[in-house]
Structure formats: structure tokens, C-alpha cells
Structure 1
Amino acid sequence: MDRKTNTSTLMRKTLMALTGLFLCFFLVIHLLGNLQLLLPAEQAKESFNGYSQLLSGNIFIKIISYVLYASIIIHGVDALVITLKNKKTAGKYAMDGRAATSKWYSRNMGILGTLILIFLVFHFKDFWYQYKFGTLPMDEFGHKDLYTIVIAAYQDWWYVLFYVLSMFALGYHLLHGFFSAARSLGLYHPKYVSWVRNFGKIYSYVITFGFAIIPIYVYLTQHVVWN
């Protein structure tokens, strides 16, 4: 691999790390917003719809949303390019033993990323697209009633299962990705490795179970309302 190729790969890994960390930050904000769905029904509806209205009507949030869309695309494209390059050079490292000692999710980041991409397609179609371009009912406060759309979606057991499995795919992706991003940005220092690993694990667990519990809770507690 020549110097130009090395530089290109390094730049792609750095860009993927930066976009990945931005997406990690977004996940925290998104989770905090979605946790409102765990409130009592009437309170959750008012709070969640007001939150959605705030996000859609704030110019600063709109700018951030464009950064988010760009980050998702750049992160995915860079990951694909790097994965294809790694496959081409895989034979050179066939005997170095790294594959045998790495975690299975580290060796299958491409598969996990693909599963997450499939989930995002459904997620954007069912919620983002509906909110932006669909004809949603209005609640009593004059807000688009995204809450009703979300609750209705979580009445199907297969959708809840799909959502939960996707969150576990995301969790495993984060377990490797968080530490990998820190290393790509030069934060891999013996003094901080343990702290970065532990923080990454805690973050991954919180994000995974935080998101996964929401559709399960809605399905179990509000299923009878929609029958």
C-alpha cells in the first residue's frame, strides 16, 4: 500500500470517526426525546408532540438535522469503502492471528452496519417521512400527532421485535465503533484505554436498552387500547 493510499485511508477513518461520534451524540438527544413515551399516555402525547414540533420549527435544529443526514451518508459510504479495501488486503494478514483474537462483532461491522441501514430505511419511512410529508392528524394543541403514529406502529409484535433486534445490532456496532473512533482520532493512550473502553461499554448498553425498552413498554401497556 503506497503513501497516497495510506493517507486516503487515514482520512476516511478520521472522517468516519468524527461522523460516528456526532451520531453517538445525536443518539443521546434522540433517546432523551423518546423516553417521553414512557410517561402516562396523556402526558406523553402532549410532551412528545410538543417536542416534535419544537424540533421541526427551530432553525438551529434544522441546520443540525442537515448535518445529521450528511453524517449518516458519509459514515455509511466511508464504512463501505474501507470494508472493500480491507477485503482486498485481507490475504496479507491471514496468518497474523488478529481475526482469531478480535470480537465477533468487530469482525462483522459491515453486516451490523447493513442491518442498521435497513432499520433506518424503515424508521425514516414510518416516522420522519410521515411527519415531514404525510397527512398527520392534529392533537388538541395544534401539533402534528406523531405520538399516535408511533404508538400505532408499536402495536405489531413483529415491528417491536424488528426494532429491538435492530437496537442490539446498533449496540454491538457501538461497542466496537466507539473505541475504534477514539483510536482513529489519536486518543488511544495506555493511560486512558481502560476509561475509554468502560465509557464505551456503558454508553452502548444505555443506548441499546434505552431504545429497546420503549417499544416493548408501549406494546405491553397500550396494546389493548388499539384493539
Structure 2
Amino acid sequence: MIVDNSGELFNIGAHFMATNPIIKIVEPILAIGFIIHIILASILTLQNRGARPIKYDLRRQSGNCTWSSRNMYILGGLVLIFLFVHLWNFWWKIKFAGDPLLTEINVDGTTMENTYALVSGLFKSSIIYCFLYILGGIFLGLHLTHGFWSAFQSIGFCNQIWRKRLECLAKIFAFIIAAGFSIIPLYFMLGLAN
């Protein structure tokens, strides 16, 4: 998309993702993993809140934990909304509902759906959707910043040397993911597409 305004590379990539047998196996496993993660995170959050029914009078947690780690449940909810919007507007339409923009095209002798038209049509038609999508990418990045290193902490990498390294890697990883989700709407908002 960014290096090819025609949309051919985007359509080739989307077709590869839709027809690759490994992706077809991993996709439902990933979905089940998300569902389990959401259920277990909700149970754990409710148990933690129930463990101390009376709130502290004064909370000064900014010195020993980040804003993201204190608000993982809220960020998780916002990411869930973002995930729902993303799946509804793209995955659901491509897999099941269809869309008038998903006409079949021929790229290098292979017939495929024009997913570029679907994606570009949505981002070109709504600057609000672009902003919401970028915001969703940022929320996802913030959620992953804490989640990445705390996953390693859960398996024992919790000393100060590893924690600092993992927090740095988490920030890099989260930035790449957030930028990856934000770059396509930014591309259309800045008018770089045809």
C-alpha cells in the first residue's frame, strides 16, 4: 500500500493470508487464545478487586508501576472494542458478509478479492474512523507495553537486570505494533494514496 499505490501488493498479501494453510490453522488457535486471555484477565481483575473491598485512602503508585500496568483492564477493554471494529470492518466482510468493494480482480494471473478497495474505501471515506483506528493502535501498544514484559516476569525473569531489558524490548515491540496499525490510516489521512 505504502510502496505501491495501485494496491496490487496489498491484494497479493491479503490473498496470501487468506489462502495460506498455516494461517488457516493458526487463526482459530489465536482466536481461542484471545478468548481465554480475556476470560482469565477478567477473572483475575475481579478477584484482585474483591481481595481489598475497601480502597486505600492515598495511592501513589506512579513510582513503582506504570500507568499502563495500573490500567490494564481498561486498556484491554478499549483494545477489545478496537479488535471488534477491526474484525467487523475487514475480517467479517472478507470472510462472510462480503462488500460491493470486494470485487474479484486478476493480479499476475491469480484471481482474488480487491481487499485494497475495501480498506482504502473505509479510510478514505472517514477521517473519524482513521483517528479511531490510530487511537486503537495506540491503546494496543500501551496494553502490550506492560503485557510483554510481565509475561516474562510470570515465567521467572523478574530480577532488576532482566526487567529493565524486557521493559525496553516491550516498548520497542509495542511501538512497532502500534505504528503498524496506525500507518495505513495515516497514509490515507495525509493524502499519500491516489
TM-score normalised by L of structure 2: 0.87
Secondary structure of 1:221 counterpart = coil
1:1-227 superposed matches below 5 A: 37-42=1-6, 45-91=7-53, 94=56, 99=61, 101=63, 102-133=65-96, 134-135=98-99, 136-141=102-107, 142-155=111-124, 156-221=126-191
More helix by share: 1
Matched length: 186
The CA deviation string for residues 28-77 of structure 1, in whole angstroms up to 9 with x for no partner, is: xxxxxxxxx212312xx211111111122122210011111111111111
Structure 1 Cα separation of the partners of residues 183 and 149 of structure 2 = 25
Structure 2 Cα separation of the partners of residues 55 and 121 of structure 1 = 19
Secondary structure of 1:39 counterpart = coil
Structure 2 Cα separation of the partners of residues 57 and 151 of structure 1 = 21
* 1:38–1:218 CA contact under 8 A, matched in 2: no
1:55/1:159 CA distance change after superposition, 3 Å: same
1:57/1:88 CA distance change after superposition, 3 Å: same
Structure 2 Cα separation of the partners of residues 54 and 100 of structure 1 = 45
Higher relative contact order (CA 8 A, sep 6+): 1
* 1:137–1:144 CA contact under 8 A, matched in 2: yes
Percent of pairs identical after alignment? 33
Structure 1 Cα separation of the partners of residues 160 and 72 of structure 2 = 25
Task: List gaps (5 residues or longer) in structure 2.
Answer: none
What is the CA-CA distance between 1:92 and the residue it aligns to? Answer: 7.6
The CA deviation string for residues 143-187 of structure 1, in whole angstroms up to 9 with x for no partner, is: 111111000111110000100111111111111111111111212
Structure 1 Cα separation of the partners of residues 52 and 131 of structure 2 = 35
More strand by share: 2
Task: List gaps (5 residues or longer) in structure 1.
Answer: 1-36
What is the CA-CA distance between 1:201 and the residue it aligns to? Answer: 1.1
TM-score normalised by L of structure 1: 0.75
